[in-house]
């Protein structure tokens, strides 16, 4: 019985060694696929690759952990290695690890760690996907907030146009260039065109090749509104 088991074990050992020699090829292939995506986001799993033995303390705080980061000038699968004993320092009432855990490419980890990493690779890829979605949403939200905060509504645009036209009209300098108006965001382009078109249609503004100036009638019509905007500190 023992002899049969040993023969089976010997056969399994040969197969295991043969398969384990191909681990790095699998890791390198996944690295290349991730690199082509150019994600560039650091992600780490929270579960230690090496589980504690019965009776040992939990290893959640020391790892090693599987992740994806820039190490040795290349984005790749990596592990945060276990800290050495001298790196532990007193923290509060106990002893804890101080600083970042050292990182190294997964391809250079021990066979034990590389084997332990294989079942976690799908979870890591899934977490990279989740992190990419989170960052994308954050960028889009920030852009929307920025655009919203910078974009003027039609009333603000009208106030800005009236102030610009009034400044040039009151200076009464025929050599000074006429006023021009440019939207600060794409969303302002349409209401700006509408404001200028309405002022032209009512005869308050004259246009000359994309430049504008108040007509005397237009200045008189909007003078009180201009003064109110100036007094209240509006646009």
> What are the domain boundaries of the chain?
2-125, 154-232
* Peptide linkage before 64 cis (omega within 30 of 0): yes
Cβ contacts of residue 212 below 8 Å, gap of 6+? 161, 165, 178, 179, 180, 181, 196, 199, 205, 206
pLDDT higher than 80, residue 65: yes
SS3 36: helix
Instruction: Tell me the HSE value of 107 on the side-chain side, using a 13 A CA sphere.
Output: 16
Is the model's pTM score more than 0.75? no
Question: Among 191, 180, 182, 184, which Cα is nearest to 151's?
Answer: 184
What are the tokens at 41? 């986001």
Average pLDDT of the chain is 81
**Torsion angle of the four alpha carbons 40, 43, 49, 52, in this order, in degrees rounded to the nearest 10:** 160
pLDDT of 83 strictly over 60: no
Half-sphere exposure of 14 (CA within 13 A, CB side): 5
Chain segment 10-42, per-residue pLDDT in tens? 777 777 766 666 788 899 999 999 999 998 899
CATH of segment(s) 154-232: 1.10.10
Q: What is the pLDDT of residues 94-134, one digit of tens each?
A: 444 444 567 899 999 988 899 899 999 999 999 999 999 99
pLDDT of residue 60: 54
How buried is residue 200: exposed, middle or buried, by Cβ count under 10 Å (0-12/13-18/19+)? middle
What is the Cα–Cα distance from 26 to 186, expressed in whole angstroms?
Answer: 48
């Amino acid at each position: 019985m023992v002899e049969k088991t040993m023969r089976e074990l010997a056969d399994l050992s040969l197969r295991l060694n043969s398969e384990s020699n191909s681990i790095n090829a699998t890791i390198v292939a996944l690295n290349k696929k991730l690199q082509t995506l150019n994600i560039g986001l650091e992600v780490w799993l929270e579960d230690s690759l090496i589980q504690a033995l019965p009776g040992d303390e939990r290893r959640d705080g020391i790892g090693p952990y599987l992740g994806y980061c820039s190490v040795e000038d290349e984005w790749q699968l990596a592990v945060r290695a276990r800290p050495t004993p001298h790196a532990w320092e007193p923290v509060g009432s106990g002893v804890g690890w101080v600083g970042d855990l050292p990182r190294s490419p997964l391809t250079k980890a021990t066979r034990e760690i590389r084997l332990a990493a294989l079942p976690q690779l799908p979870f890591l890829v899934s977490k990279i996907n989740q992190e990419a979605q989170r960052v994308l949403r954050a960028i889009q939200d920030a852009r929307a907030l920025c655009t919203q905060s910078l974009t003027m509504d039609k009333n603000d645009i009208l106030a800005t146009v009236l102030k610009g036209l009034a400044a040039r009209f009151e200076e009464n300098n025929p050599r000074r260039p006429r006023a021009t108006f440019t939207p600060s965001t794409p969303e302002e382009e349409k209401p700006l065109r509408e404001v200028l078109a309405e002022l032209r249609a009512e005869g308050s503004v004259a246009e000359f090749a994309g430049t504008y100036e108040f007509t005397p009638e237009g200045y008189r019509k909007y003078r009180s509104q201009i003064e109110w905007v100036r007094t209240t500190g509006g646009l």
